Amino acid sequence: MTTIKDVAKYAEVSVATVSRVLNDRGYASAEARRRVLDAIEELNYQPNSVARSLYHKTSGMIGLFMPDITNPFFPELARAVEDVALEAGYTVVFCNTDEEEAKEKRYFDALKQKYVDGIILTASSQSASDYAQWDMPIVALDRVIGKHIPTVASDNKNGARQATIHLAERGCSFIAHLKGPAGVRPADDRAAGFEEVVKEKGLRSVVVQTNFSIKEAEQETLKLLADHPDIDGIFAASDVTAAGAMQALAQTGRSVPGDVKVIGFDGIPLCNMLVPSLTTVQQSIYQMGEKAAQLLIQQIEHGESESREHIFPVSLIIRETT
Amino acid sequence: MTTIKDVAKYAEVSVATVSRVLNDRGYASAEARRRVLDAIEELNYQPNSVARSLYHKTSGMIGLFMPDITNPFFPELARAVEDVALEAGYTVVFCNTDEEEAKEKRYFDALKQKYVDGIILTASSQSASDYAQWDMPIVALDRVIGKHIPTVASDNKNGARQATIHLAERGCSFIAHLKGPAGVRPADDRAAGFEEVVKEKGLRSVVVQTNFSIKEAEQETLKLLADHPDIDGIFAASDVTAAGAMQALAQTGRSVPGDVKVIGFDGIPLCNMLVPSLTTVQQSIYQMGEKAAQLLIQQIEHGESESREHIFPVSLIIRETT
DNA sequence: TTGAAAGCGCTAACAC
DNA sequence: GTGTTAGCGCTTTCAA
Interval B266-279: pLDDT, tens: 999 999 888 889 99
CATH number, position B305: 3.40.50.2300
Q: How many domains does chain B have?
A: 3
B87 touches chain A (CB under 8 A): no
Global confidence as pTM? 0.94
Task: Tell me if A70 and B76 make a contact (CB, 8 A cut-off).
Answer: yes
B272 touches chain A (CB under 8 A): yes
H or E element in which residue A204 lies: strand A204-209
Q: Could you tell me if residue A321 is inside a domain? A: no
Please tell me the distance from the alpha carbon of residue B301 to that of residue B288, in angstroms, as a whole number. Answer: 20
Shortest distance between the Cα of A199 and any Cα of chain B, in A, equals 32
Phi, then psi, of A51 in degrees rounded to 5? -60, -40
Those of residues 153-172 in A touching chain B at CB distance below 8 A are none
Shortest distance between the Cα of A197 and any Cα of chain B, in A, equals 29
Please tell me the distance from the alpha carbon of residue A67 to that of residue B77, in angstroms, as a whole number. Answer: 16
pLDDT at A124: 65
* A contact test, residue of B4, B65, B66, B69 with most A CBs within 10 A: B69
Task: Tell me if A49 and B240 make a contact (CB, 8 A cut-off).
Answer: no
* Three-state secondary-structure class, residue B143: coil
Amino acid identity for residue A287 in this structure: Q
Same domain, A290 and A147: yes
pLDDT at B125: 59
Please tell me the distance from the alpha carbon of residue A213 to that of residue B257, in angstroms, as a whole number. Answer: 27
pLDDT at B91: 97
B247 touches chain A (CB under 8 A): yes
Distance A5 CA to D6 C1' (A): 17
pLDDT at B59: 97
pLDDT at A322: 94
Q: Could you tell me if residue B115 is inside a domain? A: yes
Task: Tell me if A46 and B83 make a contact (CB, 8 A cut-off).
Answer: no
**What digits encode the pLDDT tens for the residues B164-200?**
999 999 999 999 999 999 888 899 999 999 999 999 9
**What digits encode the pLDDT tens for the residues A200-223?**
999 999 999 998 788 899 999 999
Residue A171: other Cβ atoms inside 10 A:
11
A111 touches chain B (CB under 8 A): yes
Please tell me the distance from the alpha carbon of residue A250 to that of residue A240, in angstroms, as a whole number. Answer: 15
**What digits encode the pLDDT tens for the residues B44-67?**
999 999 999 999 999 999 999 999
Distance B52 CA to C14 C1' (A): 21
Q: Could you tell me if residue B297 is inside a domain? A: yes
Please tell me the distance from the alpha carbon of residue B251 to that of residue B260, in angstroms, as a whole number. Answer: 13
Helix orientation angle between A74-87 and B74-87, rounded to the nearest 10 degrees: 70
H or E element in which residue A219 lies: helix A214-227
B173 touches chain A (CB under 8 A): no
H or E element in which residue B286 lies: helix B285-302
pLDDT at A186: 92
Confidence class of residue B127 from pLDDT cuts 50, 70 and 90? low
Give the one of B50, B93, B247 whose C-beta lies nearest to A92's C-beta.
Answer: B93
Q: Mean of the per-residue pLDDT values for chain A?
A: 93
Strand C bases contacted by the protein (CB, 7 Å): 1-5, 7-14
pLDDT at A213: 83
Same domain, A87 and A183: no
Q: Could you tell me if residue A13 is inside a domain? A: yes
Q: Mean of the per-residue pLDDT values for chain B?
A: 93
Same domain, B135 and B215: no
pLDDT at A73: 95
* Three-state secondary-structure class, residue A142: coil
Distance A137 CA to D6 C1' (A): 36
Q: In this complex, which residue's CA is closest to the C1' atom of nucleotide C11?
A: B55
Same domain, B35 and B110: no
Handedness of CA A12, A14, A17, A23 (dihedral sign): positive
Asked if the model's pLDDT at residue A172 lies above 80, the reply is: yes
- Please classify residue A109 by burial: count the beta carbons closer than 10 Å to its beta carbon, then call 0-12 exposed, 13-18 middle and 19+ buried: exposed
The residue of chain B with its CA nearest to that of A255 is B275
Instruction: Kindly list the residues from chain B whose CB atom is less than 8 angstroms away from the CB atom of residue A78.
Output: 69, 94
B49 touches chain A (CB under 8 A): yes
* A contact test, residue of B70, B79, B273 with most A CBs within 10 A: B273
**What digits encode the pLDDT tens for the residues A220-254?**
999 999 999 999 999 999 999 999 999 999 999 99
Give the one of B74, B115, B246 whose C-beta lies nearest to A50's C-beta.
Answer: B115
* A contact test, residue of B108, B256, B275, B319 with most A CBs within 10 A: B275
Q: In this complex, which residue's CA is closest to the C1' atom of nucleotide C8?
A: A55
Same domain, B164 and B254: yes
Residue-wise burial string across A253-269, b where 16 or more C-beta atoms lie within 10 A, e elsewhere: ebebbeebbbbbbbbbb
Same domain, B139 and B174: no
Same domain, B145 and B76: yes
Task: Tell me if A114 and B91 make a contact (CB, 8 A cut-off).
Answer: yes
CATH number, position B12: 1.10.260.40
pLDDT at B230: 95
Shortest distance between the Cα of B302 and any Cα of chain A, in A, equals 22
Q: Could you tell me if residue A319 is inside a domain? A: no
Residue B58: other Cβ atoms inside 10 A:
16
Please tell me the distance from the alpha carbon of residue A273 to that of residue B236, in angstroms, as a whole number. Answer: 15
A268 touches chain B (CB under 8 A): no
Instruction: Kindly list the residues from chain B whose CB atom is less than 8 angstroms away from the CB atom of residue A50.
Output: 50, 53-54, 59, 113-115
On the question of a cis peptide bond just before residue A257, with omega within 30 degrees of 0, the verdict is: yes
Same domain, A309 and A202: no
pLDDT at B123: 75
A120 with A292: CB under 8 angstroms?
Answer: yes
* Three-state secondary-structure class, residue A92: strand
Q: Could you tell me if residue B320 is inside a domain? A: no
A107 with A136: CB under 8 angstroms?
Answer: no
Instruction: Kindly list the residues from chain A whose CB atom is less than 8 angstroms away from the CB atom of residue B109.
Output: 46
For residue A23, give the nucleotide whose C1' atom is nearest its CA.
D11
Which residues of B spanning 160-179 put their CB closer than 7 angstroms to strand C?
Answer: none
**Residue closest to A17 by CA, chosen among A43, A35, A44, A41:** A35
**What digits encode the pLDDT tens for the residues B229-251?**
999 999 999 999 999 999 999 99
Give the one of A50, A76, A274 whose C-beta lies nearest to B53's C-beta.
Answer: A50
pLDDT at A125: 59
Same domain, A168 and A279: yes
Same domain, B98 and B124: yes
Same domain, B279 and B299: no
For range A272-279, the mean pLDDT: 91
The residue of chain B with its CA nearest to that of A256 is B275
Q: In this complex, which residue's CA is closest to the C1' atom of nucleotide C9?
A: B51
Same domain, A213 and A298: no
Distance A15 CA to C6 C1' (A): 14
Query: Where in the sequence is the domain holding B98, given as residue range(s)?
Result: 61-154+285-313
Q: Could you tell me if residue B279 is inside a domain? A: yes
B217 touches chain A (CB under 8 A): no
For residue B50, give the nucleotide whose C1' atom is nearest its CA.
C9
